């Protein structure tokens, strides 16, 4: 039986930057401010609680010049989730802002695409332009998890639970995947970095950190096809998410949004 999920987007950091850093073909003016935010996500049903991505830590934030408002793992407690009890974590890809903190989930199985593990431990990591967004310590944590039987591999599209599915797109990284969840308003896609910003999708102008441009653009189409409507797509780094979606509670406004609910104005 298909489960119905509540979906939470938790904002844990931000980065002030010019829009030239967010588009492969930067629009004018190139130096106009266009910040991005950093999120982790939680999918909760009556039977399952699944964490999607695990964020970065304070050390990574300092090294990369990012503003970290709160520990993404500790932030799970804001919605009643104890990281120590989490049994399933989806890693959409292993970039530092999505695959850190794995050691803070002692009971979790990590769900990742076969291609992503091959990518982060394979020949392409010889090239700084491709490996710069990864942290080797994060990759080592994942490999250690594999040797403890705590990594589950997915080869393409797959069902994690009834009402929660994983979908491979590649593009941004070789094993990039996104999550689709059944909610009270239909199928919602947590795109993660399959689609960084609404504007990347709207203008067919993808984010510039990319392994394969064509796969990334095709990934945008796949996200749109599997979501109920454009209002059912949640991009991975857009500050608009906190503006468009209702907060999980009044005291969590600007921190945790309920993205299973309809965005404002729709």
| Structure confidence by residue, pLDDT tens digits, 107-131 | 999 999 999 999 999 999 999 999 9
Residue 182's CATH number:
3.60.15.10
Is residue 208 in a domain?
yes
pLDDT of residue 30: 84
Read off the pLDDT of residues 233-254 as tens digits, 9 standing for 90 and up. 999 999 999 999 999 999 999 9
Is residue 88 in a domain?
yes
pLDDT of residue 47: 97
Q: Is 123 exposed, middle or buried (0-12, 13-18, 19+ CB in 10 A)?
A: exposed
Q: Residue range 77-100: average pLDDT?
A: 99
Q: How far is CA 249 from CA 12, 49, 231, 246, 252, in A?
A: 16, 19, 21, 8, 5
Is residue 57 in a domain?
yes
pLDDT of residue 266: 47
pLDDT of residue 265: 59
Question: pLDDT above 70 covers what percent of the chain?
Answer: 99
Count how many domains the chain has: 1
pTM: 0.97
**DSSP letters for 59-98:** HHHHHHT-EE-S-TTGGGGGGT--GGG--EEE-S--BTTT
Strand partners, 139: none
Is residue 265 in a domain?
no
Is residue 263 in a domain?
no
Is residue 74 in a domain?
yes
How many other β-carbons are positioned within 10 Å of the β-carbon of residue 208? 15
CB–CB of 181/260 below 8 Å? yes
Is residue 264 in a domain?
no
Read off the pLDDT of residues 131-141 as tens digits, 9 standing for 90 and up. 999 999 999 99
Report which of 93, 62, 89, 58 is spatially closest to residue 76, judged by C-alpha positions. Answer: 89
pLDDT of residue 41: 99
- Residue span of the structural domain in which 107 resides: 6-258
Is residue 54 in a domain?
yes
Strands of the chain, DSSP E: 6-15, 36-44, 49-52, 67-68, 88-90, 109-113, 151-154, 158-161, 164-168, 177-183, 186-192, 233-235, 256-258
Read off the pLDDT of residues 252-262 as tens digits, 9 standing for 90 and up. 999 999 999 99
């Amino acid at each position: 039986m298909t489960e119905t999920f509540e979906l939470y987007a938790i904002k844990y950091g931000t980065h002030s930057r010019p829009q030239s850093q967010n588009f492969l073909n930067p629009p004018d003016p190139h130096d106009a401010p266009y910040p991005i935010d950093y999120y982790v996500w939680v999918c909760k049903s009556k039977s399952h609680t699944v964490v999607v991505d695990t964020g970065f830590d304070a050390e990574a934030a300092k090294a990369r010049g990012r503003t970290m408002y709160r520990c993404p793992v500790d932030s799970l407690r804001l919605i009643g989730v104890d990281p120590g009890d989490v049994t399933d974590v989806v890693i959409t890809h292993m970039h530092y802002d999505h695959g850190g903190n794995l050691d803070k989930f002692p009971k979790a199985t990590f769900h990742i695409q076969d291609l992503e593990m091959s990518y982060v431990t394979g020949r392409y990591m010889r090239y700084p332009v491709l490996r710069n967004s990864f942290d080797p310590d994060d990759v080592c944590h994942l490999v250690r998890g594999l040797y403890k039987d705590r990594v589950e591999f997915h080869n393409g599209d797959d069902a994690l639970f009834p009402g929660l599915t994983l979908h491979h797109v590649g593009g941004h990284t070789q094993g990039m995947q996104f999550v689709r969840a059944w909610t009270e308003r239909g199928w919602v896609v947590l795109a993660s970095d399959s689609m960084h910003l609404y504007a990347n999708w709207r203008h067919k102008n993808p984010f510039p950190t990319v392994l394969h441009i064509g796969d990334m653009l095709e990934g945008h189409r796949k996200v749109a096809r599997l979501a109920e409507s454009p209002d059912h797509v949640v991009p991975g780094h857009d500050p608009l998410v906190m503006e468009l979606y209702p907060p999980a509670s009044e005291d969590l406004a600007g921190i945790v949004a309920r993205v299973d609910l309809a965005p404002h104005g729709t």
